[in-house]
Amino acid sequence: MILLGSTGSIGCNTIEVAKKFGLNVEVLVAGNNIARLNEQIKEVNPKKVVIANKEDISKVNHPNVSFGQEAILEAIETSHSQTVVNALVGFLGLKPTLKAMECGKKIALANKESLVVAGQFIDQSRLIPIDSEHFGLWYLLQDKPMESMTITASGGSFRDYPLERLKTVTVKEALNHPNWSMGNKITIDSATMTNKLFELLEAKWLFNTTKLDAIIETKSLIHAMINFKDGSTTAHIANASMQLPIAYAITKKITEAILKPVDLVKVGSLEFRAIDVQRYPIWQVKDFIVQNPQLGVVLNAANEVGVAKFLNNEIPFLNIANISLRALEKFDTVHATSLDDIFAIDKEVRIFCES
């Protein structure tokens, strides 16, 4: 396989799956965590390595190292591997998804933004989702009339904070996720609930439905539910580990234990909450976004700018959502008719939000 984003949480879990099943990792693509990358090079012995910055090449313990997005695209095109695991974060992941699709490769997709911003231009038949929520929905699908789909959210870092405190929370507090450790961007997106909006947009494209919703499940054991027309609901319950969806995405069929089963007696109880727009102001546009998925490119660009500003201590936490809401209001009529339009809209929205 070609592994994009190897040093992040998804990437590290993918390497564990590769080792478990004896799979070859032909290409590693990483950002700035060179120490972890060097450990991974020892573990999987890739033929090629691509990193973010030219100045870091000398620090990488490998004879075949290149840098930058063009090098990623070239590695996808010239490699023999027929599977690309795209675990890059942000808009940066779109071009590699498109290149893999162009080359006829299978894409195990953890890069939410590819579908969020350009779902109408991506052949979903080539994609296998790695997100636990979409994996759960796929796992549950049956040949029965479906009413709707529900995914779950952890609630993020501030799910139990007094509402007044949200005006003054710090970056350090925002990065303190109650259930697990993730990268900075996705942890902030979890705290604002933008991450869940992205996942609803992904589900719209993957499963061709707008009957979608999300609720908070505080222990992150239920990942997805399908509500059938007969009034019954099935739920996908599993301990939180990305190795299960990764293993299915890469190997197609699993006949051995990947996770320990959930012991419901030990769990004792589960707690469900509605997603409150006072705590998560971005949620007020949930139905609007699901019904107008072409605006995903606007939401993503605005959110990336807002999150970067917050992480740089330029704006308070609640202004992340405010930036996105203002951008959606200004650009509510945009409708890309080509991939070139997607990149142009992304640029225009970023300029607006930066100002």
Confidence category of residue 181, pLDDT binned at 50, 70, 90: low
- Confidence at residue 255, expressed as pLDDT on a 0 to 100 scale: 79
pLDDT of 240 > 90? The answer is: no
**84 contact partners, CB below 8 Å, separation of at least 6:** 1, 2, 4, 76, 96, 97, 100, 105, 106, 107, 108
Check the CA dihedral 252-257-259-264 and report its sign. positive
Three-state SS string over the chain comes to: CEEECCCCHHHHHHHHHHHHHCCCCCEEECCCCHHHHHHHHHHHCCCEEEECCHHHHHHCCCCCEEECHHHHHHHHHHCCCCEEEECCCCHHHHHHHHHHHHCCCEEEECCHHHHHHHHHHCCHHHEEECCHHHHHHHHHCCCCCEEEEEEEECCCCCCCCCHHHHHCCCHHHHCCCCCCCCCHHHHHHHHHCHHHHHHHHHHHHHHCCCCEEEEEECCCCEEEEEEECCCCEEEEECCCCCHHHHHHHHHCCCCCCCCCCCCHHHHCCCCEECCCCCCCHHHHHHHHHHHCHHHHHHHHHHHHHHHHHHHCCCCCCHHHHHHHHHHHHHCCCCCCCCHHHHHHHHHHHHHHHHC
Other beta carbons within 10 Å of 12: 17
pLDDT value at 344 more than 80: yes
Q: Confidence band (pLDDT; 50, 70, 90) for 179?
A: low
Measure CA 37 to chain center: 21
Q: What is the pLDDT of residue 180?
A: 65
| pLDDT tens for each residue of 276-301 | 999 999 999 999 999 999 999 999 99
pLDDT tens string 297-324: 999 999 999 999 999 999 999 999 999 9
Determine the Cα–Cα distance for residues 332 and 183; give it in Å rounded to an integer. Answer: 30
Q: What is the mean pLDDT of the chain?
A: 94
Taking only the tens place, the pLDDT of each residue in 187-218 is 999 999 999 999 999 999 999 999 999 999 99
**Mind listing the domains of the chain with CATH numbers?**
2-129 (3.40.50.720), 136-239+273-288 (no CATH), 292-355 (1.10.1740.10)
As given in the structure block, the two tokens for residue 288 are 């609007």
Q: What is the mean pLDDT of residues 60-75?
A: 97
Instruction: Tell me the pLDDT band of 52, cut-offs 50, 70 and 90.
Output: very high
Q: Is the pLDDT of residue 250 over 90?
A: no
Lowest mean pLDDT among 50-54, 150-154, 242-246: 242-246
**pTM of the prediction?**
0.92
Residue in 170, 144, 172 with CA at minimum distance from that of residue 234:
144
Residue 146 bridge partners (DSSP): 228
Least confident of 65-74, 195-204, 251-260: 251-260
Q: What does the chain come to in residues? A: 355
